[in-house]
Amino acid sequence: MRTIWAPIILIVLFATPMIHLAFAAETPGEYVNRGQEIWNLFFRMMTVAFVVGGVIAGTIVWQVWRFRESNPNAKPTPYEDKGDL
């Protein structure tokens, strides 16, 4: 049961405020500056894209460094340990 609650709590904590933030940001009005709105959206989306890219690239670098054969902390998998490979 605990595994069901974890994502629900996380979604409530993170996703719901995000939705609220997105909708509370601006209300439909008259004479909006279309160019400004579109470019600002583009910059926000680019920020998200670069953050995601950075996290993925960082995770890959960390994995390669952490699980390299020469790392003193590296432990063989059970298969390698038995000499099955």
- The contact set with another protein (CB under 8 A) reads 3, 6-7, 10-11, 13-15, 18-19, 21-23, 25-26, 28-35, 37-41, 44-45, 48, 52
- We find the least distance from the C-beta atom of residue 22 to another protein, in angstroms, to be 4
Q: Which is nearer to another protein, 13 or 85 (CB)?
A: 13
- We find the least distance from the C-beta atom of residue 12 to another protein, in angstroms, to be 10
CA dist 44 and 46 (Å) reads 5
Helix (H) or strand (E) holding 43: helix 34-66
Q: Which is nearer to another protein, 42 or 76 (CB)?
A: 42
- We find the least distance from the C-beta atom of residue 70 to another protein, in angstroms, to be 25
Give the CA distances from residue 55 to residues 12, 51, 59, in Å, rounded to whole numbers and listed in that order: 23, 6, 6
Give the CA distances from residue 25 to residues 4, 34, 37, 39, 41, in Å, rounded to whole numbers and listed in that order: 31, 16, 12, 16, 12
